[in-house]
A and B are shown apart, each in its own frame.
Chain A
């Protein structure tokens, strides 16, 4: 029988078994002995074995079979699932993941699994804990599957496999593009109707708008995935890093059911990994240091996702040592990023932002993720490119908190269209707190920096023209200046010549060489057919 038509399905189903398996092992470490979890683990290994046997993938069968056998002993009460076995099972599931990827790509690394299979089959919990490779191999009775005789206590789980189908992600991307183009076209049509003064077209135009809004919502909904999609590897990452450094860390994950656009999830995974790594490497103290500081010996890192209207907030908090703003400032001066004068004027908030400046991270804070260096500057850049905002809070001795506020969908976003000099530019609305009109006299000069005072707060103000390096044109006649107050982690005021309108725009990415333009994150087409650049608000600071 030709099994090749079933290969893709095998790969995707194996992956879900493998990732569920990894997650369950970690859960079991937190609450050992939970029999429903052991049953689940057993079932995943068992299903995978059956599928692989059907496809004729012997290596997967061998690993899954031995994992299943050990779990079966745990289920039987022969021994508990203690860390050495958990490690070994995770190692097994890693090998399964690699083999599955090889099947998917059609490659063959020639990985020798004999030794792993040997260790899995001969695992003996009574052997000395430190001996990972027992000198004498004890052949266990691998076939002792227990019979599931007691009814399981956990709930029935409803599956809806007949109500859903699989769609290629390219198809969904294509749908978003078409919807975006339709929205752009609607603006053009509206403009034409207005110019032609064709009142009789108003009704159908209005209907078209309503339908388009529905279409947009449905298309976006189809692209949404729960945060769990990327979160599965985080508990394992924190656990492994903590083990490696001999730190005791409890990892909490909340809100993994919150849905975000697939594209956003893909982009944000690495920044999260980076922040988590930093939290383990630098934020968290060792157990000894913690006890000395009067804290529980076990530190906590919490990753929380929550929904706030059209935004999702991803919050990474630790109860570690926190950051010292004075030390950050000193380092900033040392690196030539700020002057000593600037450092004295800096608020604590601003000092924390220093870690996101390119060049601030030293080798010790740059980690290597999938072959490329990622620092906090790259994290901030990614968040901004997704039209999001990164906030950093910290309290010395008590921990740090990173908040990434992201729109839950991409591409079609509300924006403020502003004019500066000869050009119009779109500014994503999510960073805008409010807009004000000020008289030129209200802009004062404070030690060489133009500043505006709003209420009891004084803010640095920057003209959009300078920020984007546009040629300076004579200031407009008007004595009034439009100012947009933005929150991009810190609050700042941006001066523009005129606020033109507010509308929904479909952001298209720019290709090289335009993609290298600083301060620009994309482009959009307006209702009257012009191309507008979209400002990268984060780069305006």
Chain B
């Protein structure tokens, strides 16, 4: 069965690109959110296998949001997707429970590779 993904990014442009890539790689995007509040609202009804999370959002601190997401959906694998590529930030997200970090700009192969590596 294809795995389900939720995309959290305030940029429609980014969401659309990710949607394209994910569809091509055989994932099913079940939800999209443009803000932290929207994402959390969604997670109450929708438990995706994977959450692709941009940690810079208009309404919330991405790191706090990451923690909340993992608390609400412990079975979803959160992959942080950001252009902040500092090792310190990466480290912090992984400590908070993210399963992987994708640095923007990404290629479709990047995404596929990282998502594959998550296992089931």
Chain A interface (Cβ < 8 Å from any Cβ of B): 1, 3, 6, 9-10, 13, 40, 43, 46-47, 49-51, 53-54, 56, 143, 145, 147-152, 154-159, 161-162
Contact = CB atoms under 8 A, between A and B. Distances in A.
A162 B19 CA distance: 14
Contacts of B89: 145, 147
A418 B6 CA distance: 63
B88 A147 contact: yes
Given A46-B56, A145-B86, A147-B92, A156 B36 contact: yes
Given A53-B104, A53-B105, A151-B61, A159 B84 contact: no
B16 interface: yes
B37 interface: yes
Given A10-B13, A47-B56, A152 B37 contact: no
A81 B21 CA distance: 39
Interface string B38-70: 100000000000000000101111111000000
A150 B89 CA distance: 14
6 tightest A-B contacts by CB? A53-B105, A50-B83, A159-B34, A54-B105, A50-B104, A156-B59
A13 B11 contact: yes
A91 to B, nearest CB: 23
A47 B11 contact: yes
A71 to B, nearest CB: 12
B35 to A, nearest CB: 5
Contacts of A156: 35-37, 59-60
Interface in B71-100: 82-84, 86, 88-89, 92
13 contacts: A1-B108, A43-B58, A46-B83, A50-B11, A50-B104, A51-B13, A51-B14, A54-B106, A143-B86, A145-B86, A156-B60, A157-B35, A158-B38
Given A40-B58, A54-B106, A162-B32, 19 more contacts: A6-B17, A9-B13, A43-B56, A47-B10, A47-B11, A50-B82, A51-B14, A143-B86, A145-B84, A145-B86, A145-B89, A151-B61, A151-B64, A152-B60, A155-B59, A157-B35, A157-B58, A157-B59, A159-B35
Contacts of A143: 86
Nearest to B38: A159
A197 B83 CA distance: 73
Contacts of A10: 13
A162 B36 CA distance: 15
B107 interface: yes
A9 B36 contact: no
B118 interface: no
Contacts, number: 85
Nearest to A52: B105
Nearest to A7: B13
Interface residues of B, number: 34
A112 B63 CA distance: 38
Given A6-B16, A159-B10, A1 B34 contact: no
Contacts of A6: 13, 16-17
Contacts of B59: 154-157
A148 B13 contact: no
A12 to B, nearest CB: 8
Contacts of B105: 50, 53-54, 56
Contacts of B34: 159, 161
Contacts of A56: 105
A107 to B, nearest CB: 21
B16 A9 contact: yes
Contacts of B16: 6, 9
B112 to A, nearest CB: 12
B12 interface: yes
Given A143-B86, A147-B89, A51 B11 contact: yes
A148 B38 contact: no
B66 to A, nearest CB: 12
A6 B17 CA distance: 7
A149 B64 CA distance: 9
Nearest to B83: A50
Contacts of B10: 47, 159
Contacts of B62: 148
A40 B98 CA distance: 25
Nearest to A161: B34
A150 B17 CA distance: 31
Contacts of A40: 58
Task: Specify which of A47, A49, A51, A155 lies most central, judged by the most chain B CB atoms within 10 Å of its CB.
Answer: A47
Nearest to B17: A6
A155 B106 CA distance: 31
B83 A53 contact: yes
Nearest to A43: B56
B9 to A, nearest CB: 9
Nearest to A13: B13
Interface string B6-36: 0000111110110001000000000010111
A151 B67 CA distance: 13
Contacts of B86: 143, 145, 147
B95 to A, nearest CB: 12
Nearest to B18: A54
Contacts of A148: 56, 61-63
A159 B39 CA distance: 11
A141 to B, nearest CB: 12
A155 B64 CA distance: 15
A49 B58 CA distance: 16
B96 to A, nearest CB: 12
